Every structure is written in C-alpha cells, then in structure tokens.
Amino acid sequence: MKSLGSLLSLLAFVASGVIALPHESQSTFEVHPGFDLDLGAQRLVELEGHQRIWMSELEKIQAKARGAKFFDVTETEDLGSLNNLNMEPTAFYSLKATERVFPILKTLSTKGPRENLEKFSGFRTRYYRSDTGKQSQQWLLRKIQEITSKYASESLKEIIAIKEFPHSWGQNTIITRVNGSSTDDDSVVVIGAHQDSTNLWPFLPAPGADDDGSGTVTILEAYRALVAADFRPIHTVEFHWYSAEEGGLLGSQAVARHYEQNGAHVLGMSQFDMTAWVKRGTREEVGIITDFVDTNLTEFNKKLVTTYLDIPYVETKCGYACSDHASWRKAGYPSTFTIESSFENSNKNIHSANDRIDISDEFSFDHMLEFSKLAVAFAVELGGWTESK
C-alpha cells in the first residue's frame, strides 16, 4: 500500500496548499517577463506505484517544492508500453580496456569544467520555460561544437554528430553522437546529465551550479578528453544533455520514448546529476544509487569506480523518478545513476539562489574530476575501442 499512501499524501498536500509561494494563487497568475509558463495548465503526473493524477502546473511546482519526485507524463503516457522491461537482462562482464582508459584519465583537468561552470551558472536561471533557459542551452550547444572543432581530428569529426532534440517548450535536449564502427549491431551507450535548473519558485534566480551544472560540465570534460584521444568506439557512444529534468523528467522521457519507439538497442545509460559537493567532515566518496536502477549495470558501475577512481563508493538511495536514468529504466533499458555522495550528505543548497560555486569550500572541482574519470571509463569499457588496421 506504499504507493497508495504516497498518492494520498500528495493529494492531501495539494489540497492543503501548504507551500506558500510568492505573489501567486490558483486563481490569479502574475505575468513574469521572460517565462512561458501557464500555471493553470493541467499536467498528468505519475508517482511511485504508477499512480497517475492530474494537477495544475502550480500544484506540480508546489509538490516539487515539498520534495515529491515524479514523472510528468502528459506528453509521454506510453513510455515503456513496448514492454522492454521484459527483455532478457544484459550481462556486464569484466573490464577489458584499462590500457585505453588510464592514459585518457591523465588528460582530464579541472580548468575547463571551472571555466565552463562559471559561465553556465551565470545565467539567472536555466529553467526550461525561461528565455535564459533557452539561451543557456544554446551556449552549451556552441561550447560542445567548439570543443569538437578544437580537439577532434578531421577524420574523427566525420563520425561525430551534434544535434538538438526539439521540445515544445523551447529549451532543447542536446545529443552528441560518436558513431561506432561495428556493422554487426546498432548498440548505443548513453552518458547523460540535465542542463536545466530551478528554484523552488521557478521565477526566482537558480544558478544551479551543482544541480546539475556540475554533471553537465563533468560529462563535457569527459567528452573533450575522449575526442582529444581520438576515441573511435566499436559501439556508438552518445552524450546527452537533457532539458526539463526539473519539470518531471520531461526531456529524458521524450528522448527515451523516441529510442524505444524506434527499436534502439541501448546497451547501458549512466546518469550524472550533482557531482561537486563534499560535505565538511565526511569522507570523500561516490554515491552509487541502488534503488530503481538496473542491478547488473550498477554492479558494473561499482567495478569502474573501484578500478579507475581514487575514492571509494558508497551505496545510497534517492527514490522514485529522482533523475533522468529513471526515464531509460521505464523504457526498458539498463540504467545507472551516480551522485556526489550518499544522498543524506548531498548538497542542501540545490533549488535555491545559493546553489553557487562560491557558496562554500564544500564545492569541489577535484571531486567533479573523479566523475569525469567515471564517464570516460563507462564510455570506453562499454563502447569498446576500434583498433587500427
């Protein structure tokens, strides 16, 4: 009855209006320049146990402010309908590419992530329905193109495709694809982070340095190091920067639904959401999420941490629909999620104007670097490496 209890709790919360948000009510909506958001629009929300209820956009914002985690399935009601969860589980074997991975890890740096995150968290908000959310997405797209132009060889550029996955709200998901050499299958390895940010009240400033600016630049640095190393995978490797995670995993659901409907073979998906925080007085470690993930891929992820990172992992949980890996699992694909620490020791400044680089010495670019190592290892170990003939 846990799922029913969660549903009833949320229904009671919505009815109570317990969160008092500035200058708004359900009957009177203030117009905010730079935002395209209808607070009265009805949205279909899915909670743990697959319970679905309709609520207004304002009620959805209030629920998120209270800590509720959910899918907004208004545009993706059929995600997972092809029953991919009934597919045979994928087996992930021993690591085979250490001689390829370790040299790349030595080329990773905190310089690029610091410069990129200073710019990326400088937008007033990256909320997916804001003008600055669109601007930040376009800046990120240009940065990916710039890195590719600067670090990839001319022949490598021929197998790289950078594109926007369009969404109705305007801030698009970015997909960067390094095509694999295999002609035997069409397997895809996905490494993801979400680019948007939010405050508890979306119209307030939301620099989102840790959530999820840190994950965004973490996988961007991994991508830079891989193309600089002339990475030519056997299986296609894609880097995804999702829009609208904070709106109920909207962007990743749309992408996963597209892949599911087109019969894509996703070998594994790894999510990087919050990678910078080391709580004062705690041991530096990597949080491996163990609930609502693929067990086999998560065990493989642990092997990667133990082999390639300089810090240990700790098992932790984050709940239903807590980040974009959940969209891929719902579509039937193996997914795993790694976070900056145990969930209870993670950054408590998120979803506020204080989610900044300079708020505390607990924000660590050296810690982020460990996650870039993990992204590189995931790409090479699952994607393989095409040997020169």
Domains and CATH numbers, the chain: 2-68 (no CATH), 84-383 (3.40.630.10)
To which H or E segment does residue 47 belong?
Answer: strand 42-47
Structure token pair of residue 263: 């019969």
Q: Phi and psi at residue 6, in whole multiples of 5°? A: -65, -40
- Count of CB atoms within 10 A of residue 42's CB? 12
246 is catalytic: yes
Structure token pair of residue 197: 């940010």
What one-character DSSP code corresponds to residue 91? P
367 is catalytic: no
Cα 120–chain centre separation: 15
Of residues 245, 294, 324, 381, which has the active-site annotation? Answer: 245
Cα 109–chain centre separation: 21
Of residues 196, 211, 238, 285, which has the active-site annotation? Answer: 211
**DSSP string for residues in 292-306:** SS-HHHHHHHHHHHH
pLDDT of residue 5: 44
C-alpha span between 25 and 163 (Å, rounded): 39
Handedness of CA 270, 274, 277, 279 (dihedral sign): negative
The candidate with the shortest Cα–Cα distance to 212, out of 270, 170, 169, 275, is: 275
Task: Please identify every stretch of the chain with a pLDDT value under 70, giving residue numbers as ranges.
Answer: 1-31, 83-88, 389
pLDDT of residue 27: 42
Strands 313-316 and 286-289: parallel
C-alpha span between 314 and 282 (Å, rounded): 12
C-alpha span between 151 and 227 (Å, rounded): 6
Do 385 and 233 touch, CB atoms closer than 8 A?
yes
Of residues 57, 196, 210, 273, which has the active-site annotation? Answer: 273
154: left (phi > 0), else alpha (psi -120 to 50), else beta? Answer: alpha
Burial class of residue 262 in the structure, from the number of CB atoms within 10 Å of its CB (0-12 exposed, 13-18 middle, 19+ buried): exposed
pLDDT of residue 16: 46
SS3 240: strand
Of residues 167, 235, 325, 351, which has the active-site annotation? Answer: 351
pLDDT of residue 19: 42
SS3 9: helix
Spatial strand order of the sheet with 265-272 comes to: 160-165, 173-178, 236-242, 187-194, 265-272, 335-339, 286-289, 313-316
Structure token pair of residue 277: 């925080």
351 is catalytic: yes
Of residues 48, 246, 355, 381, which has the active-site annotation? Answer: 246
C-alpha span between 124 and 134 (Å, rounded): 12
Partnered with residue 176 across adjacent β-strands are 162, 239
- Count of CB atoms within 10 A of residue 252's CB? 32
CA angle 254, 276, 73 (to 5 degrees): 20
258 is catalytic: no
Residue spans of beta strands (DSSP E) within 147-264: 160-165, 173-178, 187-194, 236-242
